């Protein structure tokens, strides 16, 4: 049994730096400017021999309206309610501010178990702030430096007894086990267990798209509650946030990513970090959902994003959001299909689903399309079937003969999945034109029912496989004399 620790405090006191220190990786974006973190980010933390869940939160602001800062504050307050323990950080170099006093009072009124941490307290620079921290009335402050790893042992000694309390409580609330049952009951339970579905590894899904396409709203609708920060402003999401859920019976891990604008328009350092974090999430994912805005679909940036997902070798599903705002649905759907086939030929056959993140319409079809795309992405075809198909394809359309030298396709085999990868052994592989490669890829999609998934084909030359080319034979002396008498000029 573990516990949950939420790191809270004003902006720019080092919450994300401490989060990265506890999880052992640079997951959260860190920058000198305040207010970088906006969403709640969870991670598996390790502090010596202790394991727990840590939550990085947005900086607390003295705002209670429906502005962006107000919504961020409500999300942080929700994290305080979710957590077992709160680590309230202040800046040791700045000392206690009036805002710190306000939030300390909020934490006391909420009845949360609070540990007071004084960050940036390395050396003598944090002495004054550590002394002032006593005035908050939250107990003895822990001096630490998240940047340099100082004070982690003190934090461990404070967390350790609190963690033991949670374990004892969990044991007391645990269900009764090792109960004697009769033979009849045992047979009935065995039948039930045999028909239970096994819990598979979570399906990794990344949702990508341009800013304000509705990615966070879509994930909130899948989760069933407002877990991610949303709003009318474009570019709210900065970190690539991963959340775990069970979506229609499927264990799932969904990555929400920052909106990706054109590279030429990205000048801010923080936006560059956000886009890089989203790209990293795509590389972790198995299925990528490219989310489009129905009002401005298939813009140049949308095409680049979809092509990037295909280049990375991920199963791709295209989802068109805000479908509830469209009046002429049939005409618009026909137009979208035509644009999809024309502008994204490399994803020919990939599913395109119309959804509404606001109302939840179409999410069941999106779930089915993701499962099918994942199944195709993992598909394996036997070598016998591949070579039968290859023979029919070459008979219907023989390979070209550049320079009068016919390219011969000898055999084909699948060497990998996720995505499907094939090797074709042939003569003159360096002369194989790209058009014939596309012909084989499209044939694979049609014949083996692999729509949309990236397919990799590599042409490889066999070379001369004659095992006797470099081998020297010993000719018997009588045979040498006989051959020499027939041909005196030849040396035997």
- Counting beta carbons within 10 angstroms of the beta carbon of residue 369, is it exposed (0 to 12), middle (13 to 18) or buried (19 or more)? buried
Q: Give the start-to-end residue ranges of the domains of the chain.
A: 4-28+37-173, 203-228+237-378, 383-465
**Residue ranges of E strands in 172-309:** 203-209, 241-247, 250-256, 287-293
CATH superfamily of 383-465: K homology (KH) domain (3.30.300.20)
pLDDT tens-digit profile of 284-311? 899 999 999 999 888 888 888 888 999 9
Paired strand residues for 244? 253
**Ramachandran bin of 475, using left for φ above 0, alpha for ψ from -120 to 50, beta for the remaining angles:** beta
Helix or strand (DSSP H, E) at 23: helix 15-23
Nearest Cα neighbor of 454 from 222, 281, 340, 287 is: 287
What CATH number has the domain spanning 203-228+237-378? Answer: 3.40.50.300
On whether 322 is known to bind a ligand per the annotation, the reply is yes
On whether 212 is known to bind a ligand per the annotation, the reply is yes
Predicted confidence at residue 242, as pLDDT, reads: 86
Predicted confidence at residue 189, as pLDDT, reads: 42
Is the CB of residue 309 less than 8 Å from the CB of residue 365?
Answer: no
Is the CB of residue 13 less than 8 Å from the CB of residue 59?
Answer: yes
On whether 120 is known to bind a ligand per the annotation, the reply is yes
Round to whole Å and give the CA distance between 149 and 226: 34
On whether 470 is known to bind a ligand per the annotation, the reply is no
CB count within 10 Å of CB 325 equals: 11
Predicted confidence at residue 404, as pLDDT, reads: 78
On whether 210 is known to bind a ligand per the annotation, the reply is yes
On whether 165 is known to bind a ligand per the annotation, the reply is no
On whether 122 is known to bind a ligand per the annotation, the reply is yes
Same fold, 203-228+237-378 and 383-465: no
On whether 59 is known to bind a ligand per the annotation, the reply is yes
Predicted confidence at residue 171, as pLDDT, reads: 46
On whether 16 is known to bind a ligand per the annotation, the reply is yes
CATH 3.40.50.2300: does it fit domain 4-28+37-173? Answer: no
Predicted confidence at residue 476, as pLDDT, reads: 58
CB count within 10 Å of CB 15 equals: 29
Predicted confidence at residue 271, as pLDDT, reads: 60
Question: Dmax of the chain from CA atoms?
Answer: 115
Predicted confidence at residue 196, as pLDDT, reads: 42
On whether 485 is known to bind a ligand per the annotation, the reply is no
User: Read out DSSP for 367-385?
Assistant: HHHHHHHHHHHT----HHH
On whether 4 is known to bind a ligand per the annotation, the reply is no
On whether 10 is known to bind a ligand per the annotation, the reply is yes
In which residue ranges of the chain is pLDDT below 50? Answer: 1, 170-199, 464, 466, 468, 492
On whether 15 is known to bind a ligand per the annotation, the reply is yes
Nearest Cα neighbor of 239 from 214, 259, 213, 218 is: 259
On whether 191 is known to bind a ligand per the annotation, the reply is no
Is the CB of residue 407 less than 8 Å from the CB of residue 431?
Answer: yes
CA distances from 22 to 43, 152, 460 (A): 9, 9, 48
pLDDT tens-digit profile of 41-91? 888 899 988 999 999 888 777 776 667 677 777 777 887 888 889 999 999
C-alpha gyration radius of the chain: 31
Is the CB of residue 257 less than 8 Å from the CB of residue 214?
Answer: no
Predicted confidence at residue 173, as pLDDT, reads: 45
On whether 323 is known to bind a ligand per the annotation, the reply is yes
Lookup result for tokens 């002429």: 328
CB count within 10 Å of CB 332 equals: 16
On whether 321 is known to bind a ligand per the annotation, the reply is yes
Nearest Cα neighbor of 222 from 249, 243, 247 is: 247
Token pair of 250, please? 């499927």
On whether 262 is known to bind a ligand per the annotation, the reply is no
Predicted confidence at residue 142, as pLDDT, reads: 92
On whether 121 is known to bind a ligand per the annotation, the reply is yes
């Amino acid at each position: 049994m573990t516990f949950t620790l939420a790191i809270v405090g004003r902006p720019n006191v080092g919450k994300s730096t401490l989060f990265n220190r506890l999880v052992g990786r640079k997951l959260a974006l860190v920058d000198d400017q305040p207010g970088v973190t906006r969403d709640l980010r969870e991670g598996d933390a390790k502090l010596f021999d202790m394991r727990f869940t840590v939550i990085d939160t947005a900086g607390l602001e003295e705002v209670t309206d429906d502005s962006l800062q107000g919504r961020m504050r409500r999300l942080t307050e929700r994290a305080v309610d979710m957590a077992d323990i709160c680590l309230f950080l202040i800046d040791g170099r700045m000392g206690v501010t009036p805002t710190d006093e306000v939030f300390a009072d909020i934490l006391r009124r909420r009845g949360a178990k609070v540990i007071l941490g004084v960050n940036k307290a390395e050396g003598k620079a944090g002495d004054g702030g550590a002394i002032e921290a006593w005035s908050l009335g939250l107990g003895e402050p822990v001096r630490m430096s998240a940047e340099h790893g100082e004070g982690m042992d003190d934090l461990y000694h404070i967390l350790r007894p609190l963690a033991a309390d949670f374990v004892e409580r969990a044991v007391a609330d645990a269900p009764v086990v090792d109960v004697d049952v009769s033979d009849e009951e045992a047979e009935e339970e065995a039948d039930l267990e045999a028909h239970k579905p096994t819990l598979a590894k979570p399906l990794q899904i990344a949702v990508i798209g341009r800013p304000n396409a509705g990615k966070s709203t879509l994930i909130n609708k899948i989760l069933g509650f407002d877990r991610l920060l949303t709003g009318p402003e474009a570019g709210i999401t900065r970190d690539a946030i991963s959340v775990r859920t069970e979506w229609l019976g499927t264990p799932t891990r969904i990555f929400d990513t920052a909106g990706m604008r054109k590279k030429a328009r990205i000048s801010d350092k923080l936006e560059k970090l956000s886009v890089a974090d989203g790209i990293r999430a795509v590389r972790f994912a198995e299925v990528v959902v490219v989310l489009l805005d129905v009002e401005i679909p298939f813009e140049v940036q949308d095409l680049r994003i979809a092509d990037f997902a295909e280049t990375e070798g991920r199963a791709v599903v295209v989802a068109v959001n805000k479908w509830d705002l469209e009046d002429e649905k049939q005409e618009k759907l026909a137009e979208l299909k035509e644009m999809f086939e024309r502008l994204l030929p490399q994803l020919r056959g990939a599913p395109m689903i119309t959804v509404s993140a606001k109302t939840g319409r179409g999410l069941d079809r999106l779930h089915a399309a993701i499962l099918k795309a994942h199944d195709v992405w993992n598909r394996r075809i036997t070598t016998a079937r591949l070579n039968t198909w290859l023979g029919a394809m070459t008979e219907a359309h023989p390979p070209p003969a550049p320079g009068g030298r016919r390219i011969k396709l000898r055999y084909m085999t699948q060497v990998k999945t996720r995505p499907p990868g094939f090797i074709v052994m042939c003569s003159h592989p360096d002369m194989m034109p790209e058009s014939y490669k596309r012909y084989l890829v499209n044939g694979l999609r049609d014949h083996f029912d692999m729509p949309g998934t990236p397919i990799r084909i590599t042409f490889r030359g066999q070379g001369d496989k004659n095992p006797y080319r470099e081998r020297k034979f010993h000719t018997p002396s009588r045979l040498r004399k006989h051959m020499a008498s027939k041909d005196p000029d030849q040396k035997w």
